[in-house]
Homo-oligomer: A and B are copies of this chain.
Amino acid sequence: MEKVLRINVKTKDINYEDTPMEYLQTGGRGLIAKILLKEVKPTCEPLGKNNKLIFATGLLTGTNVSSASRLSIGAKSPLTGGIKESNAGGIMALRLAQIGLKALIIEDIPDDDKWYYIKISKENCSFEPADKYIEMGTFDFCTEMLNEYPDSAVSCIGPAGERLYSASGIATMDKDKKPNRYSGRGGLGAVMGSKKIKGVVVIDKGTVKIENNEQYMKSLKEYTKILSEAPSSLNFKKLGTASVVRTTQSLNGLPVNNFSGDLLEEDIVDNIYGETLYEVISKRGGEGRTYHSCMPGCVIQCSNVFPDENGKTIVSPLEYETIGLLGPNLGITNLDVIAKLNAVCNDIGVDTIEIGAAIGVAMEAGIAKFGDVDAAFELMEEIKKGTILGRVLGNGATITGKVLGVINVPAVNGQAMPAYDPRAIKGMGVTYSTSPMGADHTYGPIVKCDKSFVESSNEAQIKMAIIDSLGFCMFVRAAIGANYKVLVDLINGRYGWNKDVDWVLNLAKETISDEHKFNELAGFSNVNYHMPECFTEREISNLKTSFDVNVDELNELVSLYKW
């Protein structure tokens, strides 16, 4: 049976525990919610000794099921003060599952100022001194680890997490051994930093056991066919998430100049369309890749490698949210610039969404002009260096707005919005304002609604709770639709269980319910999730509309998940 590895950074105790019954039949985000609700005091100080940092694997993680090995990382968030799970691709979850670990739980905070990284092998776990790696970017740290452990998988923080920035994330190596995959949201890097852990390094490989191989292989074949033939997968393979630029632009929902509601001229937005990205990568060649997978065996391959004019990698991947937030949201529409800003974020270890939003707010405050590329790089340098302004920005859009006296802050519950203006894309606005994680598109992504905004968001939320708890990538959702049976069959094959679709639907609802429960115990009420006035009272002038979804309807949606 998979174990839970529990380590205490104060006592340096290391324990391998049998996975408790209640943790066994869930995974990823669902498991994070269960552990937090059972083990962490909801009112605790996020950067204090009572918070726990959890790495959780999904139910199919470690198998050869495509796109099923997302790493879920969770804790009480220092950004929102509520529950947080943020998942990423790459190879860490795979490795943890393959050496028999269901979850890693990092507890307490140390008494002294010594830093460590956690080394995990098949048989062992140890604290290794990491003082010499402090202030090191994520790329250099991974290089150091690879020098020491050539075939390791690494998750780590950059200087941002060390400095407890609320916008800091945790980077995880992709299959090419670069720390490009991000559990970016909610300040989880700061939680790791508060525990003085620079990284987690898994040096061994293994395999997971398939209990019912016949069932498994049959379902795997069916699943892989659905996934590889789905139009959504083909589209993601070609244009990646950047394809979304065209959609949001057409809806006037692409953020421009700190979510001003302005619409980009067509000849300008053309510079950042997914098709343009595809052309630039194709033309430049070299290390560039129009499609690329973050974990081995992924058939979607939505990722890309964006090269400079000499074909050398600038960043991988360049994705929609980053293009939106570090691009037009800052008045910038040059893919090279956006890619370079993205690369700096990855190395410092900050969330591109939160930082893009924070710089947008700072530009509105007059710290720099929208579109001033040099200023954007200078601000990024401040974040990297940890100057006072850098620390302000590194703590996200809400703190930046407070400090600089800006009330137009695109955030809900302290967390910045992804690149969908909720006045134009109201279903996503419903997700922002009912999610227990703050504004988060992945909590229930919905751009075009065929039902009411609230119903559409709710359906998307349930789907994502399934996807996130099983350990799948969110782009599987677009391919399989509501065909959860194939996912359940895969799980039945893997574990020799006999679950049905109702089981997985219940798992989703229980996950959402657990998350809201944690937040309620942490002091949140529905009201905390409300959309800020700059979106409810300020119209998008072209559309003549604000975010006007009825608050009672939003509250009703949250109330569905009251236990």
Residues of A within 8 A of B (CB): 42-45, 47-50, 163-166, 194, 388-389, 391-392, 395, 399, 402-405, 407, 520-528, 530, 532-534, 537
Contact = CB atoms under 8 A, between A and B. Distances in A.
Majority secondary structure, A binding face: loop
A407 to B, nearest CB: 5
A533 B403 contact: no
B523 A527 contact: yes
Contacts of A403: 388, 391-392, 395, 399, 403
A42 B165 CA distance: 30
B532 A525 contact: no
Contacts of A388: 388-389, 392, 403
A50 B537 CA distance: 10
A165 B160 CA distance: 26
A525 to B, nearest CB: 5
A402 B522 contact: no
6 contacts: A48-B407, A48-B537, A391-B405, A392-B392, A520-B525, A523-B528
A45 B532 CA distance: 7
Number of chain copies forming the complex: 2
A45 B533 contact: yes
Given A402-B399, A525-B524, A525-B525, A47 B407 contact: yes
A402 B407 contact: no
A87 to B, nearest CB: 25
A520 B528 CA distance: 10
Contacts of A166: 402
Nearest to A367: B388
Contact of A43 (B47, B163, B164, B530): B530
Given A392-B392, A523-B524, A524-B523, A533 B402 contact: no
Given A388-B392, A403-B399, A405-B163, A49 B521 contact: no
A452 to B, nearest CB: 22
B527 A522 contact: yes
Contact of A537 (B49, B164, B395, B537): B49
Nearest to A520: B525
B525 A164 contact: no
Nearest to A400: B403
Given A525-B525, A527-B523, A533 B48 contact: yes
A238 B534 CA distance: 52
Given A523-B528, A528-B523, A533 B50 contact: yes
A208 B539 CA distance: 47
A395 B389 contact: no
Contacts of A534: 45
Contacts of A42: 527
A82 to B, nearest CB: 12
Given A45-B533, A388-B392, A388-B403, 19 more contacts: A43-B527, A44-B533, A47-B407, A48-B407, A49-B537, A165-B405, A166-B402, A388-B388, A391-B403, A391-B405, A395-B402, A395-B403, A399-B399, A403-B403, A520-B525, A523-B525, A523-B526, A523-B528, A525-B525
Contacts of A527: 42-43, 521-523
8 nearest CB pairs, A to B = A523-B527, A164-B405, A45-B533, A523-B528, A388-B389, A391-B403, A48-B533, A388-B388
